[in-house]
């Protein structure tokens, strides 16, 4: 293997104009989302001065993610998925404009602010399952993992740069400027979606009419060992070994509560993720996707258990960077497997299950870790959680031979998907 493919595989950006448009739009939206997250957190704190107020943001985002994410899966298997994402992107733009308007009006109502946050989150969650199916329709099967790696790198970069950029914008120009930046990035994302080709699920007629989704859309996850095994591995890793809720306690006990150190914890995870993404060219060309995901999920658990025992700051940050890198590899390989193993007629609903697991399990994992730490200690919670995750992932691997043996298919896209790509090329 040449040295070149050891780095980020950029073939999807060169080979597919629609995917390139989608990636640019998604990258812009992710950066704007991080800016808005910090702005909402700071504004709610300014209005309430209460952790209960800032905690309410979690309800305003978590509940819509779960409820509308599942609904979006059924919708994505019923109508043109591009139309779903177009409509939900328009809703997100309207919510972003509302946030800008309330900031310009010097709003003092927390319920209004949270209602706008919930509206934007609901629209994003409704369109998320459909959006997740795009790469597999726009790329050949041997480039899907590379496309997902590119998407993950942009997400990690937004996590690293977005909060710092938000702080600069708010400090210099205030909340209206932060919400204006978010609105502009959402507009860029919407324009990118408008340029995409139509992507109807299998069974929708040529006129794009609504149809009844194929039966068994939710049950297919349980019927296919590769699907339930991949999701079970991710659930084990995030539910049993999510460390973020423990960062303030670890920082207080070991590093005198230095706020800069707390920021370094979060940055270390993002740096590890970005590094793994930039070096993902090798991983995305490995065909043993199931084995790679299981291994990466296990490394995540081991790294966080080591973080629980690490004394020096450099060692703690190193453990978190390894965990962040392992998480990126696991996410990319899992998403690639889920999309390629799911028949197109079911991809919306299966993607919604993956989405809900991805957003809900980490929150529950943080809650679990906090409860255990309050009863024992931060170190015990981290070590027990990390080792429990490793054991659970090992159990999934032992019970799921198809996942261990899974190989990424090679060759071009499926015939129906190839027609979409050809149409997109002709339109471009």
* Domain limits, the chain: 4-202+217-427
215 token code pair: 């039966």
CB 88 within 8 A of CB 123: yes
Element (H, E) at 152: helix 144-173
CB 326 within 8 A of CB 303: yes
Rounded CA gap, 171 and 190, in Å?
28
- Three-state DSSP state, 225: helix
- 328 HSE (CA, 13 A, CB side): 32
Angle of helix 259-278 relative to helix 313-341, nearest 10 degrees?
Answer: 40
Q: What pLDDT, on a 0 to 100 scale, did the predictor assign at position 213? A: 58
Q: What pLDDT, on a 0 to 100 scale, did the predictor assign at position 427? A: 36
Query: Per-residue pLDDT tens for 349-378?
Result: 888 888 788 877 887 787 788 888 888 888
- 15 HSE (CA, 13 A, CB side): 19
Q: What pLDDT, on a 0 to 100 scale, did the predictor assign at position 2? A: 44
Q: What pLDDT, on a 0 to 100 scale, did the predictor assign at position 51? A: 57
Q: What pLDDT, on a 0 to 100 scale, did the predictor assign at position 428? A: 35
Query: Per-residue pLDDT tens for 25-64?
Result: 999 999 999 889 888 888 888 888 775 677 677 778 878 8
Where the chain has pLDDT below 70, the residues are 1-6, 51-52, 55, 202-218, 259-260, 263, 281-284, 410-428
Rounded CA gap, 186 and 93, in Å?
6
Q: What pLDDT, on a 0 to 100 scale, did the predictor assign at position 394? A: 96
Q: What pLDDT, on a 0 to 100 scale, did the predictor assign at position 259? A: 62
What is the CA 55 to chain-centroid distance, rounded? Answer: 21
Q: What pLDDT, on a 0 to 100 scale, did the predictor assign at position 416? A: 36
Q: What is the pTM of this model?
A: 0.72
Go through 67-105 and write b for each residue having 16 or more CB atoms within 10 A of its CB, e for each that does not: ebbbebbebbbbbbbbbbbbbbbbbbbebbbbbbebbee
The CA angle 129-211-119, to the nearest 5 degrees, is: 40
CB 386 within 8 A of CB 303: yes
Q: What are phi and psi of 196, to 5 degrees?
A: -75, 155
- Three-state DSSP state, 221: helix
Rounded CA gap, 177 and 65, in Å?
26
CATH class belonging to 4-202+217-427 = mainly alpha
Q: Residue 126: which of 64, 188, 33 has the closest Cα?
A: 64
Rounded CA gap, 307 and 313, in Å?
10
Cα→Cα distances 336→51, 227, 286, 354, 408, Å: 38, 11, 12, 12, 8
């Amino acid at each position: 293997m040449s040295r070149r493919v050891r780095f980020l595989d950029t073939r999807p950006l060169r080979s597919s104009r629609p995917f390139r448009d989608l990636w640019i739009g998604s990258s812009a939206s992710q950066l704007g989302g991080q800016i808005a997250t910090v702005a909402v957190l700071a504004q709610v704190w300014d209005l309430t001065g209460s952790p209960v107020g800032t905690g309410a943001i979690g309800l305003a985002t978590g509940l819509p993610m779960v409820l509308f994410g599942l609904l979006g899966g059924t919708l994505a298997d019923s109508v043109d998925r591009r139309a779903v994402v177009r409509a939900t992107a328009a809703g997100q733009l309207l919510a972003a404009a509302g946030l800008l308007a309330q900031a310009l009006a010097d709003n003092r109502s927390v319920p209004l602010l949270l209602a706008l946050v919930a509206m934007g989150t609901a629209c994003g969650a409704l369109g998320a399952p459909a959006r997740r199916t795009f790469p597999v329709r726009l790329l050949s099967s041997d480039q899907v993992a590379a496309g997902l790696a590119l998407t993950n790198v942009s997400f990690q970069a937004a996590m690293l740069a977005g909060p710092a950029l938000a702080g600069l914008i708010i400090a210099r120009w205030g909340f209206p400027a932060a919400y204006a930046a978010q609105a502009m990035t959402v507009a860029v994302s919407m324009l990118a979606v408008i340029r995409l080709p139509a992507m109807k699920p299998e069974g929708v007629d040529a006129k794009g009419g609504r149809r009844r989704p194929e039966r068994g859309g939710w049950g297919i996850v349980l019927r296919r060992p590769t699907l339930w095994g991949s999701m079970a591995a991710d659930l084990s890793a995030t539910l049993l070994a999510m460390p973020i809720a423990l960062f303030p306690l670890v920082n207080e006990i070991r590093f005198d509560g230095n706020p800069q150190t707390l920021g370094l914890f979060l940055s270390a995870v993002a740096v590890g993720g970005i590094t793994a993404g930039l070096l993902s060219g090798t991983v995305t060309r490995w065909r043993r996707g199931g084995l790679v995901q299981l291994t990466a999920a296990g490394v995540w658990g081991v790294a966080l258990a080591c973080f629980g025992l690490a004394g020096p700051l450099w060692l703690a940050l190193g453990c978190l960077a390894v965990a962040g890198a392992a998480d990126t590899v696991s996410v990319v390989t899992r998403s690639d497997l889920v999309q390629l193993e799911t028949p197109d007629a079911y991809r919306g609903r299966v993607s919604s299950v993956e989405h809900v697991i991805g957003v809900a399990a980490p929150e529950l994992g943080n809650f679990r870790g906090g409860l255990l730490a309050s009863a024992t200690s931060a170190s015990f919670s981290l070590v027990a959680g990390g080792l429990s995750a490793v054991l659970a992932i090992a159990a999934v691997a032992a019970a799921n031979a198809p996942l261990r043996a899974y190989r990424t298919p090679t060759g071009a896209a499926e015939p129906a998907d190839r027609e979409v790509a050809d149409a997109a090329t002709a339109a471009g």
